[in-house]
A and B are shown apart, each in its own frame.
Chain A
């Protein structure tokens, strides 16, 4: 039996692809959206904004299932994180 149902596998693949796009375009995104959250899907920024939760709600209203979307913060400056 497969570890994941086909639909979940597809969603996971799209998410990984979106994350790859986000990472490889990060410097460009920083120039355009510094200090904001971006939502990435299908090789583009579908929306952006200052408030992560408002962004998530907006996306959900517009697209329904947003599981494959990457929603990430774009820092103005390089940041050190100590978790």
Chain B
């Protein structure tokens, strides 16, 4: 089974997915960058705004995340999440994750906020380790 993604900013690989969670209720598409350097699948600040997530309704994580400038970033958890991909054969494939991290950067100034808002959501090793990951000139491919 193969899932094809594209090559986006900085030539990084990205994959479009449909993201679902029941509490809070989320069902929206997200573009995830493929990041074998990220421990966990992560929703970035801009997607938090796009998905209309309210941090106050989320469970705060006790495990620290290090972000821009090597600073600790507040992070929250979404539990029992489903991530749906379109396969090369045209069918939909669902992956379930026990938890996904939601980032809450606290930028010190406008310049930092602009940078934070450019950060993408990431597919981390918690999901990627179910696949072999390879890159072609135009694509990233997840395969299993």
Contacts and interface: CB of A to CB of B under 8 A. Distances in A.
A79 B6 CA distance: 16
Chain B, interface residues (CB within 8 Å), range: 20 to 34
A78 B8 CA distance: 11
B137 to A, nearest CB: 14
A80 interface: yes
B49 A83 contact: no
A18 to B, nearest CB: 9
Contacts of A2: 92
Give the most central of B50, B86, B118: most A CB within 10 Å: B50
What is the predominant secondary structure among interface residues of chain A facing chain B? mixed
Contacts of B29: 11-12, 15-16, 67-68
A41 to B, nearest CB: 12
A83 B38 contact: yes
Nearest to A18: B29
Given A16-B86, A53-B49, 20 more contacts: A3-B92, A3-B93, A3-B94, A8-B18, A11-B29, A12-B16, A16-B16, A23-B6, A51-B117, A53-B117, A56-B46, A56-B50, A60-B52, A66-B50, A70-B31, A79-B9, A81-B12, A83-B33, A83-B119, A83-B122
Interface of B: 6, 8-10, 12, 16, 18, 20, 27-29, 31, 33, 35, 37-38, 46, 49-50, 52, 84, 86, 92-94, 117-120, 122
14 contacts: A3-B84, A9-B92, A15-B29, A19-B6, A56-B49, A60-B52, A66-B50, A67-B28, A67-B29, A70-B31, A71-B46, A73-B117, A81-B9, A83-B33
Counting from the closest, the 3 A-B pairs by CB-CB distance are: A15-B29, A81-B10, A3-B92
